[in-house]
């Protein structure tokens, strides 16, 4: 089946088809396969917002199967027919696919190579999504314009500003937008210079544009964001509703906890309003951000789902937030598998990452879940965190043993064998987190100062081999292990600057990552393994997340000292600076 096969849309609900006459055609790209794309709530939001405008016809493009043409899903038109090309970017591994899609569509992939006049064949390329406002620079050379922040407040005024694209030279149009619309970043107008050691020396902007582009944030929702497209081919295969955005916990590895500050939880009425929009035949519900919802909100959601005969699904649970209401909801949904994110291998590391979970929390959660009929538990942990040692891995092994000792008797008592899956994932340092300064591979700062990429990979591979060896004889235990080489690519893309563009285009065209880096004369160590200092200018600081200078470094130092930080309290807290202007 091809990525543009009409059969994809034959069973899809929510598809929007419009005539092109007297409308502005917008291509909306998602650089992954159709099942992944149709499961992405961000893509669905942009698709819905654009098509809400009667003057716009928006059609989707997804990453095609090998050898198949790149065509729009709605009308099977080629990409070069569209004068405006938007793309929603969520994950680093999608970066090379975006470059490949632009090239496969017959477009000049680099913005600098496009004609002065905007139109079919030389479109204006606009990139947005969480990947972009986390760090826009890896994709900067491909974009004419990047949207920094959330879509709801900016899309309508942006489309109004783009209405006369055909009569305005590209540079003049972009300068006007960058100067007048918040959250609009025009990479070509920002000049980066580098020092001899490869670090950023300066970021310069013309006088008409802001020195740093502040993100735009959506107001509180009267109706929670929810699925508008449904398909039996969807990877997640459920009707999704978001319960809020951001997280108050401040886990130091988690970008969402910092770039979505202050955290916002939608009201129960807004959430129920989103649930009420589901098609009557859809009874599987996915809740995004359930671990942060209040007990009262969970109660009302549970009552709604039970009244309407719906079952519940979600990605993971926080071990210390499993209420009786949540357990009742799980039992009513007949879920057989639930994931718990411990994240750190040991209690010391969970303090370091500010997770706020101890071993007793994890053991109690496992007991309660299995007692409620959940016979398959998944435990998610990361390896390669800063300061991690063999002792931390040994503590993880003991935790697995204790978990099994708790859950196996409960399962047997209910006539079932309880199983545990240990998901081992390589930690990837992300921009706008306290761990943006540290080395990929878990190398100590002094060691990372001289280590190369091979040493970082070897450190992770040895930890994986050790855990495999020590856990291989455990009954009813499955291991799911990350690939360090894939994590390395993600680590490079996450903290790279615009010099990575040729690598992305080469990888997207089929070259290996190693070959692409060699051809571009870029050392992955520069972006992934090299530790950052307190005063280094970081390329993603062209974006203004509202976090005060120095805060993330202070949090990194608190982590290394084993000190925790309390959760966000927007009404009274002024620690990070995001809420400094709030009354």
- Does one domain contain both 357 and 400? yes
Residue carrying structure tokens 């295969």: 237
Task: Record the tokens describing residue 395, joined without a space.
Answer: 């503590």
Q: Residue 93 sits in a domain of what CATH number? A: 3.40.50.280
Average pLDDT score, the chain: 92
Task: Record the tokens describing residue 182, joined without a space.
Answer: 């918040």
For the ranges 230-244, 356-370, 544-558, the maximum mean pLDDT occurs at 544-558
Is 541 within the bounds of a domain?
no
Whether the predicted model's global pTM rises above the 0.75 cut: yes
Residue 410 pLDDT greater than 50, yes or no: yes
- Does one domain contain both 243 and 102? no
pLDDT at residue 1 in the model: 35
Q: Which helix (H) or strand (E) holds 88?
A: strand 84-88
- Does one domain contain both 322 and 448? yes
- Does one domain contain both 31 and 172? yes
Q: State pLDDT tens for residues 46-64.
A: 999 999 999 999 999 999 9
Q: Residue 345 sits in a domain of what CATH number? A: 3.80.30.20
Residue 413 pLDDT greater than 80, yes or no: yes
Across 406-431, b (16+ Cβ under 10 Å) vs e yields bbbebbeeeeeebbbbbbbbbbbbbb
pLDDT at residue 161 in the model: 96
Task: Record the tokens describing residue 60, joined without a space.
Answer: 């989707």
- Counting Cα atoms < 13 Å in the Cβ hemisphere of 44 gives 24
Overall average pLDDT of the 289-301 stretch = 81
Closest CA to 260 of 228, 292, 286: 292
Measured over the CA atoms of residue 60, residue 121, residue 150 and residue 193, the dihedral's sign is positive
Residues sharing a CB contact under 8 Å with residue 172, sequence separation 6 or more, in sequence order = none
3-state secondary structure of 122: strand
Residue 66 pLDDT greater than 90, yes or no: no
- Does one domain contain both 301 and 191? no
Q: Are 411 and 375 in contact (CB under 8 A)?
A: yes
Is 345 within the bounds of a domain?
yes
Is 507 within the bounds of a domain?
no
Residue 16 pLDDT greater than 90, yes or no: yes
Confidence category of residue 570, pLDDT binned at 50, 70, 90: confident
- Does one domain contain both 188 and 291? no
pLDDT at residue 446 in the model: 64
Question: What gap in Å lies between CA 8 and CA 6, rounded to an integer?
Answer: 5
Overall average pLDDT of the 457-465 stretch = 96
Task: Record the tokens describing residue 155, joined without a space.
Answer: 């899309």
Overall average pLDDT of the 357-379 stretch = 90
Question: What gap in Å lies between CA 215 and CA 255, rounded to an integer?
Answer: 14
Confidence category of residue 3, pLDDT binned at 50, 70, 90: very low
Q: Are 517 and 179 in contact (CB under 8 A)?
A: no
Confidence category of residue 71, pLDDT binned at 50, 70, 90: very high
- Does one domain contain both 205 and 251? no
Is 578 within the bounds of a domain?
no
Q: State pLDDT tens for residues 473-508.
A: 998 999 999 999 999 999 999 999 999 999 999 999
Q: Which helix (H) or strand (E) holds 411?
A: helix 390-413
Question: What gap in Å lies between CA 134 and CA 475, rounded to an integer?
Answer: 41
- Does one domain contain both 152 and 281? no
Residues sharing a CB contact under 8 Å with residue 557, sequence separation 6 or more, in sequence order = none
Higher pLDDT, 7 or 33: 33
- Does one domain contain both 180 and 289? no
> What is the number of domains present in the chain?
2
- Give the domain extent around 41: 7-214
Is 460 within the bounds of a domain?
yes
- Does one domain contain both 210 and 249? no
Question: What gap in Å lies between CA 232 and CA 2, rounded to an integer?
Answer: 16
- Does one domain contain both 209 and 274? no
- Name residue 265's beta-bridge partners: 244
Confidence category of residue 6, pLDDT binned at 50, 70, 90: low
Confidence category of residue 322, pLDDT binned at 50, 70, 90: confident
Is 205 within the bounds of a domain?
yes
Is 391 within the bounds of a domain?
yes
Give the rounded percent of residues in the chain with a pLDDT score beyond 70: 97
pLDDT at residue 4 in the model: 44
Residue 208 pLDDT greater than 90, yes or no: yes
- Does one domain contain both 199 and 249? no
Is 231 within the bounds of a domain?
no
Confidence category of residue 316, pLDDT binned at 50, 70, 90: low
């Amino acid at each position: 089946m091809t990525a543009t096969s009409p059969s994809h849309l034959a069973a899809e609900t929510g598809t929007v088809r419009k005539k092109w006459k007297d409308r502005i055609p917008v291509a909306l790209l998602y650089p992954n396969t159709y099942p992944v794309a149709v499961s992405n709530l961000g893509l669905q939001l942009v698709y819905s917002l654009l098509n809400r405008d009667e003057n716009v016809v928006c059609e989707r493009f997804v990453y095609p199967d090998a050898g198949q043409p790149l065509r729009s899903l709605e009308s099977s038109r080629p990409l070069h027919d569209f004068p405006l090309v938007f793309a929603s970017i969520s994950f680093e591994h999608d970066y090379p696919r975006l470059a490949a899609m632009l090239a496969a569509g017959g477009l000049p992939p680099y913005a600098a190579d496009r004609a002065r006049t905007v139109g079919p064949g030389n479109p204006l390329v606009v990139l947005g999504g969480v990947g972009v406002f986390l760090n826009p620079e890896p994709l900067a050379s491909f974009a004419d314009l990047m949207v920094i922040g959330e879509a709801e407040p900016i899309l309508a005024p942006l489309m109004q500003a783009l209405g006369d694209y055909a009569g305005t030279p590209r540079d003049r149009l972009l300068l006007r937008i960058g100067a007048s619309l918040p959250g609009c970043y025009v990479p070509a107008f920002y000049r980066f210079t580098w020092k001899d050691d490869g670090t950023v020396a300066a970021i310069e902007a013309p006088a008409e544009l802001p020195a740093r582009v502040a993100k735009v944030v959506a107001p509180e929702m009267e109706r929670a964001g929810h699925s508008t497209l449904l398909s039996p081919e969807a990877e997640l295969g459920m009707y999704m509703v978001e319960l809020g955005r951001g997280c108050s916990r401040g886990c130091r590895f988690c970008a969402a906890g910092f770039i979505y500050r202050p955290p916002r939880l939608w009201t129960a009425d807004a959430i129920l309003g989103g649930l009420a929009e589901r098609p009557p035949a859809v009874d599987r519900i996915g809740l995004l951000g359930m671990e942060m919802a209040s007990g009262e909100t969970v109660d009302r959601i549970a009552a709604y789902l039970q009244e309407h005969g719906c079952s519940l699904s979600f990605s993971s649970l926080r071990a210390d937030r499993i209420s009786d209401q949540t357990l009742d909801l799980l039992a009513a949904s007949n879920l057989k598998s639930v994931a718990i994110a411990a994240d750190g291998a040991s209690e010391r590391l969970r303090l370091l990452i500010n997770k706020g979970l101890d071993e007793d929390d994890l053991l109690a959660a496992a007991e309660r879940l299995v007692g409620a009929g959940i016979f398959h538990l998944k435990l998610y942990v990361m390896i390669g965190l800063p300061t991690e040692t063999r002792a931390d891995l040994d503590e993880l092994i003991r935790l697995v043993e204790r978990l099994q000792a708790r859950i196996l008797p409960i399962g047997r008592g209910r006539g079932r064998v309880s199983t545990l899956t240990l998901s081992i994932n390589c930690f990837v340092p992300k921009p706008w987190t306290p761990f943006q300064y540290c080395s990929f591979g878990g190398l100590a700062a002094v060691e990372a100062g001289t280590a190369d990429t091979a040493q970082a990979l070897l450190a992770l591979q040895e930890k994986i081999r050790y855990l495999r060896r020590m856990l291989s004889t455990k009954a009813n235990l499955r291991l799911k292990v990350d690939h360090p080489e894939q994590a390395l690519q993600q680590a490079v893309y996450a903290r790279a600057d615009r010099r990575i563009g040729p690598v992305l285009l080469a990888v997207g065209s089929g070259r290996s990552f190693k070959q692409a880096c060699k051809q571009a004369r870029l050392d992955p160590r520069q972006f992934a393994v090299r530790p950052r200092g307190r005063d280094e200018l970081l390329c993603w600081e062209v974006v203004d997340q509202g976090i005060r200078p120095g805060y993330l470094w202070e949090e990194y130092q608190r982590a290394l000292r084993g000190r925790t930080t309390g959760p966000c309290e927007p009404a009274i807290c002024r620690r990070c600076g995001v809420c400094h202007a709030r009354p």
